[in-house]
């Protein structure tokens, strides 16, 4: 192991070696950590160091379906998503490579009176937040999306501005942005712990030695609970299997001009993908944990539900299937706030999680994390309610759960922090 100030081992990354204190250290080279490092550098910090235990994008960020949805169930979700979508749309003006945002429109159908009541209530909240979202009646929705089985939905909410990004391209975009801005990126370098003095951060311990700093942003996606343990705090977040598949092409799907759809009741979403249809879902009854295997039986249930709603997909072969570990938080809301030790904040630290919404909220969460690291507050959302102090000892949140989320695993009475 070589010290950061020694001028020896970091040269092996081809990034050169620097001595002394870092102005900020960011843990995790996924979309949340990387965009945060870029924002910190853009804000004028001189030495911003990003630590990634493996390779940039190796976590959830390269495996996502890319859905970017502003139709959240809470004002926090709406603000983060609206900001993030605007960020994606503005990337090409500022950056060499953008994240590949495609504006497609998103329809959330309602299948019961209760669904409709809840949707209309959410709609009022979203409109009050300034979103241009509307109720679409069944006939208009069927005209807009002729692939959907007619007569099942009562209509639903529709937002024309929602869309998707291309997740591997997002990894490329943040990598290029960080390197162009001069963020010091260190792959294969793990965060091991933090050192505090009188409640203030003074250094981080890494697999390549001790690095003095007064600012630290901790991310980790599905592995955030373990990152927290290394920092000496409890973070009630976890990871669970999430499956995504793409059907073969079909003439009726070829045009790809139909909106994305989220069947909220089932937790199934789909969107156009190269002449076929991409769809994804998690099994809420499954034990959380790191996921590498495809669950064929559950995939068959997903296909069955899909075929009910989009009949053309019945018996349509699949041409791609993948599985990833998706991050989640107990209330499906982001975590943004300092590391707590014995209930007290460690000054200079910020924990950042997008709670399984890193494509739709990631850069927004990163922006808030950078604001907190620099100023202790953010104009984007009220971060004072999003910290770790909202959870009790069992990981239960005092905030109401965001109802517009994938049905992630929930264990009654305590939070399932699946990745240990
Ligand atoms: C299959 C799938 C589909 C998804 N679809 C969508 C979608 O359509 N829309 C959407 O909004 N979200 C989606 N998500 C969720 C989204 O991908 C995540 O919320 C997001 O990528 C999380 O970003 P992150 O940077 O927090 O975590 P990650 O991308 O997982 O990055 C965390 C990084 O931290 C590193 N790390 C961990 N521990 C340490 C350590 N001790 N030291 C140094 N580095 C460490 C890891 O190696 C990893 O690279 C999906 C996720 C999956 C798996």
For 338-371, write each residue's pLDDT tens digit: 999 999 999 999 999 999 999 999 999 999 999 9
The predicted pLDDT at position 407 comes to 66
106 contacts 144 by C-beta, under 8 angstroms: no
The residue with tokens 């759809």 is 261
Tokens describing residue 265: 């009741």
Q: Which residue puts its alpha carbon closest to atom 25 of ligand 1?
A: 30
Q: Which residue puts its alpha carbon closest to atom 4 of ligand 1?
A: 64
**Average pLDDT of 138-164?**
97
Closest by CA to 302, choosing from 268, 278, 325, 262, is 268
pLDDT tens, position by position, 37-75: 999 999 999 999 999 999 999 999 999 999 999 999 999
The predicted pLDDT at position 413 comes to 35
Q: Would the pLDDT of 411 be above 80? A: no
β partners of residue 186? 51
- Measured distance between the N- and C-terminal CA atoms of the chain, rounded to whole angstroms: 27
The predicted pLDDT at position 210 comes to 97
Cα 353 to middle of ligand 1, angstroms: 9
Q: Say what percent of the chain tops pLDDT 70.
A: 92
The predicted pLDDT at position 409 comes to 66
Cα 53 to middle of ligand 1, angstroms: 13
Instruction: Answer positive or negative: Cα dihedral of 121, 126, 128, 132.
Output: negative
CA distance 109 to 141: 9
Ligand 1 atom having least distance to the Cα of 221: 27
Cα 325 to middle of ligand 1, angstroms: 8
| Pair type for strands 340-341 and 344-345 | antiparallel
The predicted pLDDT at position 9 comes to 40
pLDDT tens, position by position, 366-389: 999 999 999 999 999 999 999 999
CA distance 300 to 303: 5
Closest by CA to 166, choosing from 99, 104, 103, is 99
Ligand 1 atom having least distance to the Cα of 191: 42
**Average pLDDT of 95-110?**
97
How would you classify residue 181: left for phi > 0, otherwise alpha for psi between -120 and 50, otherwise beta?
alpha
Cα 239 to middle of ligand 1, angstroms: 10
Cα 354 to middle of ligand 1, angstroms: 9
The predicted pLDDT at position 291 comes to 84
The predicted pLDDT at position 279 comes to 98
The predicted pLDDT at position 406 comes to 76
377 contacts 385 by C-beta, under 8 angstroms: no
The predicted pLDDT at position 7 comes to 37
The predicted pLDDT at position 284 comes to 87
Instruction: Answer positive or negative: Cα dihedral of 64, 65, 70, 74.
Output: negative
309 contacts 200 by C-beta, under 8 angstroms: no
Q: Which of 54, 57, 59 to mutate to test the pocket of ligand 1 (most atoms within 8 A of CB)?
A: 59
Cα 7 to middle of ligand 1, angstroms: 32
Ligand 1 atom having least distance to the Cα of 353: 26
281 contacts 300 by C-beta, under 8 angstroms: no
CA distance 33 to 187: 13
| Angle (CA) 64 69 70, round 5° | 145
Range 94-98 contact pairs with CB under 8 angstroms and sequence separation of 24 or more: 95/173, 95/176, 95/177, 95/180, 96/176, 96/177, 96/180, 97/169, 97/172, 97/173, 97/176, 97/177, 98/169, 98/173
Provide CB contacts within 8 A for 115, sequence distance 6+: 154, 264, 265
The predicted pLDDT at position 378 comes to 98
Cα 355 to middle of ligand 1, angstroms: 9
Q: Which residue puts its alpha carbon closest to atom 32 of ligand 1?
A: 220
Q: Mean pLDDT across the chain, nearest whole number?
A: 92
Q: Map residue 140 onto helix, strand or coil.
A: helix
**Average pLDDT of 126-135?**
97
* 19-61+168-236+331-390 classified as CATH 3.50.50.60: yes
Closest by CA to 101, choosing from 115, 112, 86, 114, is 86
Q: Which residue puts its alpha carbon closest to atom 3 of ligand 1?
A: 64
**Average pLDDT of 288-293?**
88
Cα 139 to middle of ligand 1, angstroms: 38
CA distance 288 to 104: 32
Cα 405 to middle of ligand 1, angstroms: 16
Instruction: Kindly list the protein residues whose Cβ atom lies closer than 6 A to any atom of ligand 1.
Output: 27-33, 51-54, 58-61, 63-67, 190-191, 219-223, 227, 230, 242, 244, 280, 324-327, 353-354, 356-360, 362
β partners of residue 247? 318
Q: Would the pLDDT of 4 be above 90? A: no
Q: Would the pLDDT of 34 be above 70? A: yes
| Angle (CA) 398 401 406, round 5° | 150
pLDDT tens, position by position, 197-245: 999 999 999 999 999 999 999 999 999 999 999 999 999 999 999 999 9
CA distance 282 to 241: 6
Ligand 1 atom having least distance to the Cα of 357: 11
β partners of residue 287? none
């Amino acid at each position: 192991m070589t010290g950061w100030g020694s001028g020896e081992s970091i040269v092996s990354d081809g990034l050169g070696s620097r001595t002394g204190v870092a102005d900020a250290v960011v843990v995790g080279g996924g979309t949340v950590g990387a965009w945060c490092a870029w924002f910190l550098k853009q804000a004028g910090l001189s030495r911003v160091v990003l630590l990634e235990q493996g390779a940039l994008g190796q976590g959830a960020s390269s495996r996502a379906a890319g859905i970017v949805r502003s139709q959240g169930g809470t004002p926090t979700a709406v603000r983060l998503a609206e900001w993030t979508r605007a960020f994606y749309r503005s990337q090409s003006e500022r950056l060499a490579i953008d994240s590949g945002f495609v504006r497609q429109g998103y329809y959330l159908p309602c299948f019961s009176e209760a669904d409709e009541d809840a949707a209309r209530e959410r709609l009022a909240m979203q409109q009050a937040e300034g979103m241009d979202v509307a109720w679409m009646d069944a006939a208009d929705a069927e005209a807009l999306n002729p692939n959907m089985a007619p007569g099942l939905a009562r209509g639903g909410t529709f937002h024309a501005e929602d869309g998707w990004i291309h997740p591997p391209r997002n990894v490329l975009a943040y990598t290029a942005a960080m390197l162009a801005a001069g963020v010091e990126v260190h792959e294969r370098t793990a965060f091991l712990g933090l050192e505090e003095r009188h409640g203030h951060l003074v250094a981080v311990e890494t697999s390549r030695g001790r690095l003095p700093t007064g600012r630290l942003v901790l991310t980790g996606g599905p592995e955030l609970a373990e990152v927290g343990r290394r920092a000496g705090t409890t973070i009630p977040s976890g990871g669970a299997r999430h499956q995504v598949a793409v059907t073969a092409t079909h003439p009726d799907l070829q045009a790809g001009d139909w909106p994305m759809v989220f069947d909220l009741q089932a937790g199934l979403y789909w969107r156009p993908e190269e002449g076929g249809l991409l769809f994804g879902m998690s099994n809420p009854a499954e034990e959380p944990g790191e996921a590498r295997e495809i669950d064929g039986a559950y995939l068959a249930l997903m296909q069955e539900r899909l075929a009910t709603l989009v009949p053309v997909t019945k018996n349509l072969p699949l041409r791609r299937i993948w599985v990833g570990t998706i991050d989640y938080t107990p209330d499906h809301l982001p975590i943004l706030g300092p590391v707590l030790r014995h209930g007290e904040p460690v000054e200079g630290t910020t924990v950042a999680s997008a709670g399984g919404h890193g494509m739709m909220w990631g850069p927004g969460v990163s922006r808030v994390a950078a604001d907190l690291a620099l100023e202790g507050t953010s104009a984007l959302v009220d971060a004072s309610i999003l910290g770790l102090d909202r959870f009790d000892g069992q990981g239960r949140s005092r905030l109401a759960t965001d109802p517009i989320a994938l049905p992630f695993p929930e264990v009654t009475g305590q939070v399932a922090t699946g990745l240990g």
